[in-house]
């Protein structure tokens, strides 16, 4: 959080002598954050998920992966979790790597553990890429509206009116329905989903950045920077954006959770990633046909989504509490 200290500055102690604060802002925030046990749990799960997804990518990627998520063993279908493979019916290369089906197998005898590993990477990238797109658009449009808001386009409307109008228009669309429509009309691909989720969820970030910029614009350090002849570009990105990032960061963290849920919902309805590749949503979607015979096909991906989304939400809320200066004064 560099640049943040510009806004708050250091307090004058009683003696009137300026002292440097004992802790940096980051240390102060971190010690506050650690007190929030739920948020810490969220952070730990978040990091673990990141590592699992990354190793999952390496272990399931390529033509001959270590864990093969697409290997069909029809004779071993719908085996419950932790069951041992029937070695007599399997070719040596078909035997699961761990010696057991850790999470069982699905209706085609594919190893659910490998599929979950593959799906974790999909969930992670969808969440991060979609939110990155949303945040970039949000900072860009919100920044323009906040900083250049008084400019007029064609002498008629101010930039601010145009951009807030665009935000209002976008908020009128029922978001899940819009995403569903676009994804259904476009060819099935994971990139389309990321882009569509990103393009339909930037409004929150834009509003936050605009509001922050409107107040930051009037502050002394911006005036000082202008007086020094710093370029607009540098004022915006070096001085103002870091100060406006706190609410954006919080909404981005929670946005990742929402994006993962949206992707799972799309996969569930059959509009997600095309079939051979696994996502948590389509594992669950396949599993619903065997709800009573093979409940693990529903529960394993369901709980995985739940835990990851919960972790992001808790982490985001913890971040909000820490970055909220109002709450800080009470401690």
The footprint of another protein (CB under 8 A) covers: 38, 165, 168-169, 171-178, 180-182, 184-187, 257, 261, 264-265, 268-269, 281, 284, 288, 291-292, 295, 298, 301-303, 305-306, 309-310, 313-314, 317
17 vs 185 by CB, closer to another protein: 185
Least CB distance from residue 52 to another protein, whole Å?
Answer: 18
100 vs 186 by CB, closer to another protein: 186
Least CB distance from residue 2 to another protein, whole Å?
Answer: 30
Q: How would you write the chain as a 3-class SS string?
A: CCCHHHHHCCCCCCCCCCCCCCCCHHHHHHHHHHHCHHHHHHHHHHHHHHHHHHHHHHHHCCCCCCCCCCCCCHHHCCCCCCECCCHHHCCHHHCCCCCCECCCECCCCCEHHHHHHHHHHHHHHHHHHHHHHHHHHHHHHHHHHHHCCCCEECCCEEHHHHHHHHHHHHHHCCHHHHHHHHHHHCCCCHHHHHHHHHHCCCHHHHHHHHHHHHHHCCCHHHHHHHHCCCCHHHHHHHHHHHHHHHHHHHHHHHHHHHHHHHHHHHHHHCCCCCCCCCCHHHHHHHHHHHCCCCCHHHHHHHHHHHHHHHHHHHHHHHHHHHHCHHHHCCC
158 vs 181 by CB, closer to another protein: 181
225 vs 319 by CB, closer to another protein: 319
Least CB distance from residue 22 to another protein, whole Å?
Answer: 28
Least CB distance from residue 220 to another protein, whole Å?
Answer: 29
66 vs 157 by CB, closer to another protein: 157
Least CB distance from residue 59 to another protein, whole Å?
Answer: 25
């Amino acid at each position: 959080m560099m640049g943040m200290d510009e806004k708050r500055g250091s307090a004058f102690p009683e003696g009137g002598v300026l002292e440097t604060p004992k802790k940096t802002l980051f240390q102060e925030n971190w010690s506050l954050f650690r007190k929030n046990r739920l948020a810490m749990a969220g952070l730990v799960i978040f990091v673990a998920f990141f590592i699992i997804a990354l190793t999952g990518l390496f272990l399931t990627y390529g033509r001959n992966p270590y864990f093969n998520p697409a290997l069909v063993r029809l004779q071993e279908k719908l085996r419950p979790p932790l069951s041992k493979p029937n070695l007599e019916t399997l070719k040596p290369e078909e035997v699961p790597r761990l010696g057991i089906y850790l999470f069982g197998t699905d209706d085609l005898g594919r190893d659910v553990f490998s599929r979950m590993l593959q799906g974790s990477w999909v969930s992670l990238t969808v969440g991060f890429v979609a939110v990155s797109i949303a945040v970039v658009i949000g900072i860009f449009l919100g920044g323009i509206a906040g900083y250049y808001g008084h400019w007029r386009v064609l002498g008629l409307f101010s930039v601010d009116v145009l951009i807030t109008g665009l935000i209002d228009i976008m908020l009128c669309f029922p978001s899940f329905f819009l995403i569903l429509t676009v994804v259904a009309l476009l060819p099935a691909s994971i990139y389309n989903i990321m882009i569509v989720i990103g393009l339909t969820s930037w409004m929150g970030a834009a509003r936050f950045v605009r509001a922050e910029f409107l107040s930051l614009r009037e502050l002394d350090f911006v005036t000082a920077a202008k007086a020094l002849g710093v370029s607009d570009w540098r004022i915006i990105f070096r001085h103002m954006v870091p100060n406006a990032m706190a609410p954006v960061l919080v909404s981005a963290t929670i946005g990742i959770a929402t994006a993962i849920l949206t992707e799972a919902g799309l996969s569930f309805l059959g509009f997600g990633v095309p079939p051979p590749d696994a996502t948590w949503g389509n594992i669950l979607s396949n599993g619903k046909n065997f709800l009573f015979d093979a409940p693990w096909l529903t529960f394993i991906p369901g709980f995985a989504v739940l835990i990851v989304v919960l972790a992001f939400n808790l982490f985001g809320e913890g971040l909000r509490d820490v970055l909220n200066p109002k709450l800080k004064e009470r401690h």
